[in-house]
């Protein structure tokens, strides 16, 4: 009651004051943004799009009222019930969680108020002018003015201008779904903009369609059809735009900054010439491969030695709807394939492991029944050292290492690099290192830069300065701190392995697409069913990432990272170094190249390999090998595990000779590893292999 009475008294005072005051008119010209590359070459000029005075379709008017202000036709500019409810919610929460703005109040903000903090004083003035508008204008005039003034993103004011800007159509020519797309922008023009954020825009558009359906403004057939359709943009720009994905991504990074001038010049780190050359390489390759490999989309990121973004290609054609060209695939999360493996080996070295130690690359059933295979599913390599395992991208060895280190520490390390993985660690499990996680090409490229920066994670730079038309600098990005995420020795070990072409020849052909005429290193990745192809790599001057695939996740045809992304990466690297003398990798740590037996524990040393070792590693080599080939054992369940009564159990074994002859459960022979409906008490399980070796584990079954 107290809240309701206070609201009525508050509004009565405002109404009395507003009755005698004239309406001020705020003339607002949309801000004009010009984007330039690092050399001052124009990328895009975004002039303000503004509607003057046109009549909107009746459907749009009804839809806007249904979505934004159901009581528009009956309130006097302020919805008392909604306002009282919002004030109560805000008081209880201690912060602003509800605004209760009507269409009239939103128009008052657009016409009479500047962009500023929306505190109680702002709300007071907004309410004041809303009541005054209702005195002077009819409902029809208020609605028309709002439709012609509302901010719809990208400097677009009004629905008529938005129809032309996003779809190159007149407003009355838009489909139901296209109108819903524009209505979705109203609540948050930067978040739900179909150019800047197509995925969120699609989700929001479908929500608008559902609400229009629930309001009986569209029929069932229309609703069921349009929610299945993509957003098909046909942007109408005044002049040619270079690097649209990069430009609109930069614009979004600046969305929260309020600029004091109406003409803004944004000087970026992009190199227009390198961008256009990289785009041409991507387009030509996809055109050649799209029929045989069913590969239609791709992205490229190039960072220089300061992590300035020199190139960011988000797709081969921003304006091609059939490939979802507006989706920025340089910043969209995709399944990583094997490109996370170098970070696992780096973490192992950070934790004190020696690269001379052994990993098991042979068929093994890991905890939870996980059974990884190498890319060639018949391939097993026995005990191998770190260098061979990483260079040849052995899957089983990588899972063996992750199983020893733990999923949680590896997951935390990846997150510390800024990868923003889309799933939780427990969901990803041991498959994390083989590509079940999702992150973006831009994040991965920044992550790979640590291997040529002596373990330092440098922040991404994409803006040099923001200036007014007269040259006054009004914004410069803050210098973010550089983080030392791994040691110099660790970074240089990964760099040295990935740049050694011969080290990968066991699993990859000579003269492959990762080999260049100057020092460089790279790692490929291929996700399940060939949905994503990656190459991430570097030279002393640049870090380059390439992704190819299809934006909608459609699988390619038998295309690995080496075959799909590899040729693009190779050509981009060649273009970057075309007029630059080659630089050698510099090593500042304590590692040096040594020769040792390929397999740990060998006595005859019939096969020799190179290793990049520290003095401590050499000390360890003088001692007996710390790891031996794993014996026959039960890996699941663990000794003394506790299970609930009625549980089922799959017994899992591992070891070089892990073919099981038979099992025993409490002394009773069983031919299979599955034991169902466990009863209360102690249980003993035994597995016996063909050589007669036995492994035993004890568990308890309790009422849980």
Give domain 633-702's CATH architecture.
Sandwich (2.60)
Give the pLDDT score at 609: 84
Q: How far apart are CA 118 and CA 109, in angstroms?
A: 10
Residue with tokens 């060639």: 376
Q: How far apart are CA 341 and CA 74, in angstroms?
A: 63
Q: Is the per-residue pLDDT at 628 higher than 50? A: no
Contact present, 79 and 71 (Cβ < 8 Å): yes
Peptide bond before residue 637 is cis, with ω within 30 degrees of 0: yes
Count CB-CB contacts under 10 A for residue 71: 13
Contact present, 578 and 278 (Cβ < 8 Å): no
Give the pLDDT score at 444: 97
> Rounded to whole angstroms, what are the CA distances from 7 to 10, 124, 409, 497?
5, 12, 54, 70
Q: Is the per-residue pLDDT at 629 higher than 70? A: no
DSSP, collapsed to helix, strand or coil, labels residue 497 as helix
Contact present, 14 and 80 (Cβ < 8 Å): no
Mean pLDDT of 402-408: 93
Give the pLDDT score at 125: 79
Residue with tokens 């008529």: 160
Q: How far apart are CA 509 and CA 12, in angstroms?
A: 82
Q: pLDDT digit string (tens) for 419-432?
A: 998 789 889 999 99
Give the pLDDT score at 483: 94
Give the pLDDT score at 153: 79
Contact present, 364 and 401 (Cβ < 8 Å): no
Q: How far apart are CA 575 and CA 578, in angstroms?
A: 5
With the CA atoms of 318, 324, 330 and 333 taken in that order, what torsion angle do they form, in degrees rounded to the nearest 10?
A: 160
Side-by-side strand order, sheet with 694-702: 641-644, 694-702, 681-689, 660-665, 668-670
Task: Band the pLDDT of 303: cuts 50, 70, 90.
Answer: very high
Q: How far apart are CA 635 and CA 275, in angstroms?
A: 51
Give the pLDDT score at 441: 97
Q: Is the per-residue pLDDT at 239 higher than 70? A: no
- Joined together, the tokens standing for residue 140 give 């029809």
Contact present, 345 and 496 (Cβ < 8 Å): no
DSSP notation for 134-181: HHHS-HHHHHHHHHHH-B-STTEESHHHHHHHHHSS-GGG--HHHHHH
Phi-psi region at 366: left, alpha or beta (left = phi > 0; alpha = psi -120 to 50): beta
Q: Give the range among 300-304, 410-414, 505-509, 592-596 with minimum mean pLDDT.
A: 505-509
User: When comparing pLDDT for 572 and 643, which is higher?
Assistant: 572
* SS3 of 598-632: CCCCCCCCCCEEEEEECHHHHHHHCCCCCCCCCCC
Q: Give the range among 126-135, 268-277, 617-626 with minimum mean pLDDT.
A: 617-626
Task: Band the pLDDT of 478: cuts 50, 70, 90.
Answer: confident
Q: How far apart are CA 331 and CA 440, in angstroms?
A: 5
Give the pLDDT score at 278: 96
Q: Is the per-residue pLDDT at 171 higher than 60? A: yes
- Joined together, the tokens standing for residue 621 give 């080599």
Give the pLDDT score at 399: 95
Contact present, 435 and 429 (Cβ < 8 Å): no
Q: How far apart are CA 259 and CA 467, in angstroms?
A: 10
- Joined together, the tokens standing for residue 490 give 């660790």
270-332+440-461+480-589 belongs to which homologous superfamily? Answer: DD-peptidase/beta-lactamase superfamily (3.40.710.10)
With the CA atoms of 587, 588, 589 and 592 taken in that order, what torsion angle do they form, in degrees rounded to the nearest 10?
A: 40
User: Residue 157 forms beta bridges with which residues?
Assistant: 50, 151
Residue with tokens 């229009």: 212
Mean pLDDT of the chain: 85
User: When comparing pLDDT for 256 and 658, which is higher?
Assistant: 256
Q: Is the per-residue pLDDT at 625 higher than 50? A: no
**Degrees (nearest 5) of the Cα angle 604, 607, 613?**
100
Task: Band the pLDDT of 500: cuts 50, 70, 90.
Answer: very high
Which of 376, 400, 467 lies closest to 654 in space, CA to CA?
400
Q: Is the per-residue pLDDT at 103 higher than 80? A: yes
Give the pLDDT score at 655: 61
Mean pLDDT of 344-355: 93
Phi, psi of 518 (to 5 degrees): -135, 165
Range picked from 204-208, 423-427, 668-672 for highest mean pLDDT: 204-208
What does the domain layout of the chain look like in residue ranges? 1-26+69-139, 270-332+440-461+480-589, 592-621, 633-702
Give the pLDDT score at 124: 77
Q: How far apart are CA 170 and CA 160, in angstroms?
A: 7
Q: pLDDT digit string (tens) for 428-450?
A: 999 999 989 999 999 999 999 99
Phi, psi of 282 (to 5 degrees): -60, -45
Can you give the C-alpha Rg of the chain in angstroms? 31
> Rounded to whole angstroms, what are the CA distances from 320 to 324, 484, 543, 551?
7, 41, 28, 12
Give the pLDDT score at 198: 83
Q: How far apart are CA 560 and CA 98, in angstroms?
A: 50
**Degrees (nearest 5) of the Cα angle 380, 381, 386?**
130
Q: How far apart are CA 222 and CA 214, in angstroms?
A: 12
Q: Is the per-residue pLDDT at 133 higher than 90? A: no
Q: How far apart are CA 583 and CA 540, in angstroms?
A: 6
Give the pLDDT score at 97: 44
Task: Band the pLDDT of 211: cuts 50, 70, 90.
Answer: very high
What stretches of 294-354 show up as alpha helix (H) in DSSP?
341-350
607: CB partners within 8 A, 6+ apart: 597, 598, 599
Give the pLDDT score at 545: 98
The sign of the dihedral angle between the CA atoms of 265, 274, 286, 295 is negative
Cα of first residue to Cα of last residue in the chain, in angstroms, is 51
What is the percent of the chain with per-residue pLDDT over 90, rounded to a whole number?
42
Range picked from 100-104, 487-491, 498-502 for highest mean pLDDT: 487-491
Contact present, 265 and 466 (Cβ < 8 Å): yes
**DSSP label of 577:** T
Give the pLDDT score at 79: 75
- Joined together, the tokens standing for residue 317 give 């054609």
Q: How far apart are CA 564 and CA 532, in angstroms?
A: 9
């Amino acid at each position: 009651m107290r809240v309701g009475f206070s609201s009525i008294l508050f509004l009565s005072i405002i109404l009395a004051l507003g009755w005698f005051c004239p309406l001020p008119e705020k003339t607002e010209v949309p801000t004009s943004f010009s984007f330039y590359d690092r050399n001052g070459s124009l990328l895009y000029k975004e002039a303000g799009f503004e509607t003057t005075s046109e009549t909107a379709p009746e459907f749009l008017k009804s839809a806007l009222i249904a979505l934004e202000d159901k009581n528009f036709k009956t309130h006097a500019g302020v919805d008392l019930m909604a306002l009282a409810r919002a004030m109560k919610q805000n008081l209880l929460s201690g912060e602003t969680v509800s605004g209760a703005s009507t269409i009239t109040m939103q128009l008052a903000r657009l016409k009479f108020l500047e962009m500023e903090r929306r505190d109680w004083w702002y709300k007071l003035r907004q309410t004041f002018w809303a009541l005054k508008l209702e005195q002077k204008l009819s409902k029809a005039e208020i609605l028309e003015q709002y439709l012609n003034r509302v901010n719809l993103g990208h400097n677009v004011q009004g629905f008529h201008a938005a129809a032309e800007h996003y779809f190159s159509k007149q407003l009355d020519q838009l489909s139901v779904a296209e109108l819903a797309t524009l209505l979705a922008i109203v609540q948050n023009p930067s978040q739900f903009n179909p150019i800047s954020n197509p995925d969120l825009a699609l989700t929001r558009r479908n929500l608008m369609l559902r609400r229009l359906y629930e309001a009986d403004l569209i029929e069932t057939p229309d609703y069921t059809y349009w929610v299945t359709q993509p957003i098909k943009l046909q942007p109408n720009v005044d002049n040619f735009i270079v690097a649209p994905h990069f430009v609109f991504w930069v614009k979004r990074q600046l969305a929260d900054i309020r600029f004091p001038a109406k003409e803004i010049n944004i000087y970026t780190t992009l190199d227009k010439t390198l961008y256009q050359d990289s785009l041409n390489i991507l387009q030509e390759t996809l055109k050649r491969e799209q029929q045989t490999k069913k590969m239609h989309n791709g992205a490229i990121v190039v960072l220089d030695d300061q992590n300035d973004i020199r190139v960011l290609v988000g797709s081969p054609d921003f304006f091609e709807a059939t490939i979802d060209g507006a989706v920025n695939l340089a910043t969209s999360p995709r399944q990583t394939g094997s490109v996370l493996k170098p970070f696992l080996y780096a973490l192992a070295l950070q934790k004190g492991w020696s690269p001379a130690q052994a990993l098991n690359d042979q068929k093994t059933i890991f905890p939870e029944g996980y059974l990884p295979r190498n890319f060639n599913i018949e391939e097993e390599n026995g005990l191998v050292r770190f260098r061979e395992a990483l260079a040849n991208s052995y899957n089983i060895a990588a899972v063996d290492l992750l199983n020893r280190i733990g999923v949680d520490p590896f997951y935390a390390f990846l997150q510390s690099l800024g990868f923003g993985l889309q799933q939780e660690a427990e969901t990803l499990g041991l498959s994390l290192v083989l590509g079940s996680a999702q992150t973006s090409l831009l994040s991965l490229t920044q992550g790979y830069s640590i291997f040529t920066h002596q373990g330092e994670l440098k922040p991404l730079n994409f803006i040099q300065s923001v200036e007014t038309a007269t040259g006054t600098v009004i914004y410069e990005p803050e210098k973010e701190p550089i983080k030392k995420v791994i040691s110099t020795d660790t970074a240089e070990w990964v760099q040295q392995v990935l740049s050694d072409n011969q080290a990968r020849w066991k699993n990859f052909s000579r003269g492959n697409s990762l080999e260049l005429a100057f020092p460089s290193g790279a790692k490929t990745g291929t996700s399940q069913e060939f949905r994503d192809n990656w190459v991430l790599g570097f030279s002393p001057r640049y870090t380059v990432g390439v992704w190819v695939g299809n934006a909608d996740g459609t699988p390619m045809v038998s295309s690995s990272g080496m075959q799909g992304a590899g040729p693009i990466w190779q050509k981009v690297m060649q273009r970057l170094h075309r007029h630059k003398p080659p630089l050698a990798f510099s090593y500042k740590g304590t590692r040096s190249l040594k020769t040792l037996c390929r397999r740990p524990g060998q006595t005859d040393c019939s096969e020799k390999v190179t290793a990049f070792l520290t003095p401590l590693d050499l000390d360890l080599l003088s001692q007996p090998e710390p790891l031996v080939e794993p014996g026959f054992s039960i890996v699941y369940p663990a000794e003394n595990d506790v299970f609930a009564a009625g549980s089922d159990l799959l017994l899992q074994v591992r070891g070089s000779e892990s073919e099981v002859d038979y099992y025993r459960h409490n002394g009773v022979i069983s031919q299979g590893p599955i034991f169902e409906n466990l009863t209360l008490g102690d249980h003993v399980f035994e597995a016996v292999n063909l050589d007669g070796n036995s492994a035993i584990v004890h568990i308890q079954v309790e009422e849980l």
